[in-house]
Amino acid sequence: MAIPATPSNMIVQQANHQVLVSYNLALSATSYNINRSIDQINYTVVAVISAKQYLDTTVVIGTQYFYKVSATNVDGTSPFTLPQSVIPSPNGEMALAQIRLQAQQRADRVNSPFVSTAEWNTYINQSLFELYDLLVTAYGEEYFAAPVLTFTTVGNTQFYPLPNGINYSAAPAFYKLLGVDLGLNQSAQPNNGWVTVKRFNFIDRNKYFYPNTQSTIYGVFNMQYRLVGNQIEFIPAPSANQPIRIWYIPRMEMLLQDTDITTSGISGWIEYIITDAAIKAMQKEESDVSVLMLQKGVLIKRIEASSMNRDAGQADTISDTRNRNGGNSGAGSGFGAGW
């Protein structure tokens, strides 16, 4: 019996926080050594098996791993396969390196020097921004809501800065507003009662005289807000120590390192990024992208259809027209279900 041949057709895949290493069985081999590294220099044997695949469940999300496999029998051990790398990601998500490879495969441009790695990364981030806007603007704005931001008014201004990634203890930078609340009690943090603050029309910006007229939840004026540049303005100017709560969509963070992972892979939507990045790369060399454009159109329709409502049990409605007066639907009350 001779030393077995090196296992052929090794493939490394990741999904569901795990890594699958598969390969063809080698003639006369009795076992296979699965070796893993995080620096492609120092390898550790993580398994010795007789099967043609190994599921590694001990990996850490966002860490790049390198795998290589050798075959063994009583006469010795084969040379190792060429190392292959993979970056485990959360369910449905992908790391930048994996997206780039799949976009290159989609464009049939793997190892092509015409589009550099930096250019591929730029295309991917541009496509990711497009997907982000589709989801937060048109279809499902609550998907990426930041942790609710609470601050207290100081009493001498109607203008307060929006989060920029540095202020408010490095809260995520602001992109789109979801809603504003006013706390009922100045001293009941964090267990407070809240009322919704509505937006004022721009023409009403001078409706109140500052700073003499101020607003509290118990006052005669209903406080309102409006976004002005990178600030939020309140009229009338709120008095001091009024708790304000802001619900908002943060700015999207770009993928920079190969191990950076997306947060938009719900329902396979990363397919949009892969397809669109491939289109951008092929457009650079003036190739025909008509087939990919058709695929992109189908993906947009699927995203639109699947992202409108996260609550499968109770779909969103435009307005509540059946319970505006505490459920009073008695005949002749003037507040029945049809008004």
**Length of the chain in residues, anyone?**
339
pLDDT for residue 274: 97
- For 21, the enclosing helix (H) or strand (E) is strand 18-22
Q: Is 204 left (phi over 0), alpha (psi -120 to 50) or beta?
A: alpha
On whether both 281 and 300 belong to a single domain, the answer is yes
pLDDT over 90 for what percent of the chain?
Answer: 66
pLDDT in tens, 122-143: 999 999 999 999 888 877 667 8
On whether both 22 and 110 belong to a single domain, the answer is no
Q: What is the mean pLDDT of residues 150-176?
A: 94
Q: Decide if 224 is inside a domain.
A: yes
Q: Decide if 55 is inside a domain.
A: yes
On whether both 54 and 130 belong to a single domain, the answer is no
Phi, psi of 32 (to 5 degrees): -135, 135
The tokens describing 281, both together, are 């790369």
- For 126, the enclosing helix (H) or strand (E) is helix 117-133
**In Å, what is the CA distance from 90 to each residue of 17, 60, 215, 306, 318?**
6, 10, 46, 20, 33
Ranking 39-43, 68-72, 102-106, 313-317 by mean pLDDT, the lowest is 313-317
Q: Decide if 338 is inside a domain.
A: no
- For residue 181, the enclosing domain spans 143-250
Q: What is the dihedral of CA 301, 303, 305, 306, to 10 degrees?
A: 160
pLDDT greater at residue 206 or residue 50: 50
On whether both 116 and 197 belong to a single domain, the answer is no
Q: Decide if 315 is inside a domain.
A: no
On whether both 274 and 133 belong to a single domain, the answer is yes
Residue pair 177/227 in contact (Cβ under 8 Å)? The answer is: yes
pLDDT for residue 317: 60
On whether both 242 and 183 belong to a single domain, the answer is yes
DSSP characters over 43-93: -EEEEEESSSEEEE----TT--EEEEEEEEETTEEPPPPPPEEE---STT-
User: Pick from 271, 302, 268, 300: which is nearest to 124 by CA?
Assistant: 271
Round to whole Å and give the CA distance between 71 and 80: 8
Report CA 225 to chain centroid distance, whole Å: 28
Average confidence score pLDDT of the chain: 87
Which SS3 state, helix, strand or coil, does residue 243 take? strand
Q: Decide if 60 is inside a domain.
A: yes
DSSP characters over 288-337: --HHHHHHHHHHHHHHHHHHS-S-SSS---S---S-TTTT---TTSS--T
Confidence band for 77, pLDDT divided at 50, 70 and 90: very high
pLDDT in tens, 279-328: 999 999 899 999 999 999 999 998 888 887 777 777 666 555 555 444 44
pLDDT for residue 211: 53
DSSP label at residue 121: H
On whether both 161 and 208 belong to a single domain, the answer is yes
Q: Which residues of 298-314 are buried (b: 16+ CB within 10 A; e: fewer)?
A: ebbeebeeebeeeeeee
pLDDT at 257 exceeding the cut of 70: yes
pLDDT for residue 308: 75
Q: Classify residue 9 as exposed, middle or buried by CB count within 10 Å of its CB (0-12, 13-18, 19+).
A: exposed
Cross-strand partners of 29: none
pTM: 0.81
The total number of structural domains that make up the chain: 3
pLDDT for residue 337: 35
What CATH code is carried by the domain that includes residue 81? 2.60.40.10
> At 192, which amino acid appears?
N
The tokens describing 21, both together, are 């290493």
On whether both 238 and 279 belong to a single domain, the answer is no
Q: No. of H helices and E strands in the chain?
A: 5, 17
pLDDT in tens, 207-216: 876 555 656 6
pLDDT for residue 287: 94
Confidence band for 21, pLDDT divided at 50, 70 and 90: very high
